[in-house]
Amino acid sequence: MVKRGSSQLRYTLINCCLPLIRFDMTFAAYYAKKRGEGKPHRVAITHVAKKLIRVIYALEKQDIDFNAQKFR
């Protein structure tokens, strides 16, 4: 993650991802994949945050609800 922009937004995104990797199997699988690739915990969390941003953007742009099977 680039250290440009709002540091508070980055902090909030990272903290939003912690429950995601515990309770949402889509993001938990993505986190496990990144950890399996040898990424450290913080780096894997930032990858999950980036994926969360992409999912939110796609949902807003297409005006649809979240469907876990579609975003695997």
Q: For the chain, what percentages of helix, strand and coil (3-state, to nearest 5) are there?
A: 70, 0, 30
pLDDT in tens, 57-72: 988 998 888 777 776 6
* Cβ pair 14, 49 in contact under 8 A: yes
pLDDT in tens, 24-66: 999 999 999 999 999 999 999 999 999 999 989 988 998 888 7
Report in angstroms the alpha-carbon separations of 66 from 20, 30, 37, 55. Answer: 14, 16, 27, 8
pTM, two decimals, is: 0.84
- Give strand ranges (E) for 1-72: none
